[in-house]
A and B are shown apart, each in its own frame.
Chain A
């Protein structure tokens, strides 16, 4: 009798637990979905998936602004923005057909193209490289030539090729430096485990400037660091670009047309982010960026600097910059003696026709940002 009772209790408790967990999870996923795809109601919109290369943050302000401001809808598109940050490699997701467009750095995709991916750069959003190598002001490291024998930080995963391209240009062999893999924060550099750390102007450099100097109790300032910008070296490579599927562009007329519409909305999104930088930062925070407000605003502002002014119009691929990226990619050899690419990429690797059509359609909009002036951002401790 007693046993039967206990068994009933066990069964009841298990059932209850299951039910409550299932309902809890169900409601959670409901909340999550409503932000992204929630498109079943918008019947005649075309569903498009855009794969980012990292978590939501102001680096992608233009895409989130286009979503928030309804620019995609204006073009008849229902766009779902998919973050990365785990094991998702954007160009692989695109090549596999999981998504319609992907944001990725040019050198990384050049490597994928050489290994058989069939992808085309349809818009070069960032016109300039945002990669820095940051050393302490007293380190004696002022240029790439000073790297020899030093501990040089890098994140790896294809983010390291500018370092090797710049070193190759200085005649430095990658075996002459000690490449140290960096974490997602700057602690290894701050603790002097790394002599010169890789940093993006819009993210990790800001992390340094929002850290307290334990000796003074004040935040570090730019005077504490020597900053080497790869944009000033011949190692500079093109970064955030929009990639499309080459075969679909050639065979699928609708996809080609969609690409122009998609680019129009994206360009309008980036114009919004330029002219309303504070709103753009708020939009990416609402989209799930976990940075504090001052860091997010810094990022939005710095990203704008990488885009504007865009002499030929935002997104247009500059042949000179492209050739330099390819040359750097061919010259770069990593610390394990591997090459990024060994032959020139095919002619289909970039195509300006879609972005040029999109810019022409936009007509009066200011797509060059000739008179662009960045704002001044004051970073707070911890980026908060």
Chain B
């Protein structure tokens, strides 16, 4: 019973937060000066014109209207939903690839000390390569891959770039987790003459869960950001990244429209976060003393 009440409270608080953001937006728009708040030459708070800050109601109303007045144009929310779902699918594939690679790397590094010394610096270094330098290279390589009749589809390039951001927290987090059991436990397994595999299954993997779950969450965030940036960078036509750019280009004549894909991107991030927390729910028996 108490648990149920707490859940209702959590939901209410979340909703309240949303309402508060909306109230701050409209409140500032109502009382803020048209030209924003300036300290010297620097604008610290934005302009409050309809161009810079459309009314929330206008943005919501715009979502219900067709994308353009072309005959047969779908409503804006539908276009945003389609683009966001496409991006979600790509991000999910990127996340899965990243998590798999990250886990395998962590296992390798746990098993062979030398691999840890050899690989870990490179894994850290890999994240310093800027995405915009890396993306065109992936696209070019992808374009050249053809196996029989199978051609490397452009979305796979996007997923690969997303996985590049996603694997890092998993590799590092899972390694920390796999190494976290106290010596006394691993030595106990040793006295049972349990092999590496048995120790992994009954001691190391369960112990890794509290480290792994935050890593999976970071990986999800990385995969979503990587997907959106990579879509823009390699000119992938169907995702939310491209939609953000094209609708931003139309923001002068149709200011509310430019906000629609931003809502889409926010929803995408939320759905990804919820999906990962479901995994946490399934693994809750192992979540003692989670390292948040």
Which residue on A lies nearest to B152, using beta carbons?
Answer: A29
Contact B252 A208 (CB under 8 A): yes
CB distance from A378 to the nearest CB of B (A): 13
Q: Are A191 and B49 in contact (CB under 8 A)?
A: yes
Q: How far is the CA of A208 from the CA of B232 in the complex (A)?
A: 25
Interface residues of A in 146-164 (CB under 8 A from B): none
Give the size range of B's interface with the partner. Answer: 35 or more
Chain B proximity mask over A164-199: 1 for CB below 8 Å, otherwise 0: 000000000000000000011111001100000000
Cβ of A86 within 8 Å of any chain B Cβ, yes or no, is: yes
Enumerate chain B residues within 8 angstroms of A319, measured Cβ to Cβ.
none
Contact B70 A88 (CB under 8 A): no
CA A18 to CA B283, docked complex, whole Å = 18
Q: Is A309 an interface residue (CB 8 A)?
A: no
Contact A40 B149, beta carbon cutoff 8 Å: yes
For A40, the closest partner residue in chain B by CB is B149
Task: Return the CB mask of A1-29 against B: 1 if under 8 Å, else 0.
Answer: 00100100110010001100110110011
Complex CA–CA separation, A40 to B96 (angstroms): 32
* A76 at interface, CB cutoff 8 A: no
* Residues 203 to 257 of chain B near chain A (Cβ within 8 Å): 232-235, 237-238, 242-243, 245-254, 257
Q: What residues of B have a CB within 8 angstroms of the CB of A85 in the complex?
A: 235, 242, 245
In the assembled complex, how far is the CB of residue B66 from the closest CB belonging to chain A, in whole angstroms? Answer: 8
A44 interface residue per 8 A CB criterion? no
Cβ of A349 under 8 Å from chain B = no
Q: Are B249 and A29 in contact (CB under 8 A)?
A: no
Q: Out of A84, A87, A190, A207, name the residue touching B250 (CB < 8 Å).
A: A207
B253 touches A86 (CB 8 A): no
Do B70 and A293 touch across chains, with their CB atoms under 8 A apart? yes
Question: What is the minimal beta-carbon distance from A31 to any residue of chain B, in angstroms?
Answer: 8
Whether A186 contacts B49 in the complex (CB less than 8 A), given A6-B282, A9-B282, comes out as no
Q: Which residues of B contact A86 (CB under 8 A)?
A: 135, 232-235
Residues of A within 8 A of B93 (CB): 21-22, 25
The complex places the Cα of A291 from the Cα of B245 at a distance, in Å, of: 12
A383 interface residue (CB < 8 Å to B): yes
Task: Give the nearest-CB partner of B235 in chain A.
Answer: A86
B292 CB → nearest A CB, Å: 21
- The complex places the Cα of A214 from the Cα of B34 at a distance, in Å, of 12
Whether, in the assembled complex, B186 has its beta carbon less than 8 Å from a beta carbon of chain A, the answer is: no
Q: 1/0 contact trace for B147-187 toward A, CB 8 Å?
A: 00101011110010000000000000000000000000000
Chain B CB within 10 A, most for which of A29, A83, A288: A29
Does A210 belong to the interface (CB within 8 Å)? yes
In contact, A292 and B282 (Cβ under 8 angstroms): no
B119 to chain A, nearest CB (A): 25
**Residue A42 is within 8 A (CB to CB) of chain B in the complex:** no
Residues of B within 8 A of A384 (CB): 68-69, 254
Contacts A24-B89, A28-B89, A214-B49 given; does A382 touch B257 at CB 8 Å: yes
The 8 Å CB contact of B136, one of A40, A55, A87, A212, is A87
Mask, A369-384, CB within 8 Å of B = 1, is 0000000000011111
Is B90's CB within 8 Å of the partner chain A?
yes
Q: A10-B282, A87-B136, A88-B235 are in contact. Are A28 and B86 (CB under 8 A)?
A: yes
Pick from A18, A28, A40, A207: contact of B253, CB below 8 A. Answer: A207
In the bound complex, how far is the Cα of B137 from the Cα of A87, in angstroms? 10
Residue A32 CB within 8 A of the other chain: yes
Chain A CB count within 10 A is highest, among B151, B250, B253, B282, for B253
- Cβ–Cβ contact A292 & B69, under 8 A: yes
CA of A116 to CA of B90, assembled, Å:
38
A13, A22, A187, A291: the one within 8 Å of B252 (CB): A187
Interface contact A28-B69, CB-CB below 8 Å: no
Q: Is A33 an interface residue (CB 8 A)?
A: yes
Q: Is the CB of A290 within 8 A of B285?
A: no
A25 touches B253 (CB 8 A): no
Enumerate chain B residues within 8 angstroms of A18, measured Cβ to Cβ: 96
Q: Taking the nearest CB of chain A, how far is it from the CB of B193, in angstroms?
A: 24
How far in angstroms is the closest Cβ of chain A from B150?
11
- Given A29-B154, A292-B69, A382-B257, does the pair A187, B282 have CB atoms closer than 8 Å? no
Contact with A along B251-292 (1 / 0, CB 8 A): 111100110000000000000000000010011010000000
| Contact, CB under 8 Å: B250 / A185 | yes
A211 to B251, CA, bound (A): 9
Of the candidates B49, B234, B257, the one whose C-beta lies within 8 Å of that of A87 is B234
A190 and B69 contact, CB distance less than 8 A: no
Closest to A383 in B: B253
A29 to B257, CA, bound (A): 26
The answer to whether A211 and B237 touch across the interface, beta carbons within 8 angstroms, is: no
Say if the beta carbon of A224 comes within 8 Å of chain B: no
- Interface contact A83-B237, CB-CB below 8 Å: yes
Looking at the assembled complex, report how far the CB atom of B20 sits from the nearest CB atom of chain A, in whole angstroms.
27
CA distance in complex: A383, B257 (Å): 12
Task: Report the Cα distance A212→B49, complex, angstroms.
Answer: 12
In Å, the complex CA distance between A88 and B236 comes to 11
Given contacts A87-B233, A187-B52, 16 further A-B contacts (CB under 8 A): A9-B282, A13-B282, A17-B92, A25-B90, A25-B153, A28-B238, A29-B153, A32-B153, A85-B235, A85-B245, A86-B235, A88-B139, A184-B248, A185-B251, A191-B52, A207-B250
Q: Which 7 A-B pairs have the closest CB atoms?
A: A382-B254, A292-B68, A29-B153, A382-B253, A184-B249, A210-B253, A86-B235
A residues with a Cβ closer than 8 A to B are: 3, 6, 9-10, 13, 17-18, 21-22, 24-25, 28-29, 32-33, 40, 55, 82-88, 96, 98, 183-187, 190-191, 207-208, 210-212, 214, 285, 288, 290-294, 380-384
Q: Point out residues on B near A: beta carbons under 8 Å.
A: 47, 49-52, 67-70, 85-86, 89-90, 92-93, 96, 132, 135-136, 139-140, 143, 149, 151, 153-156, 159, 232-235, 237-238, 242-243, 245-254, 257-258, 279, 282-283, 285
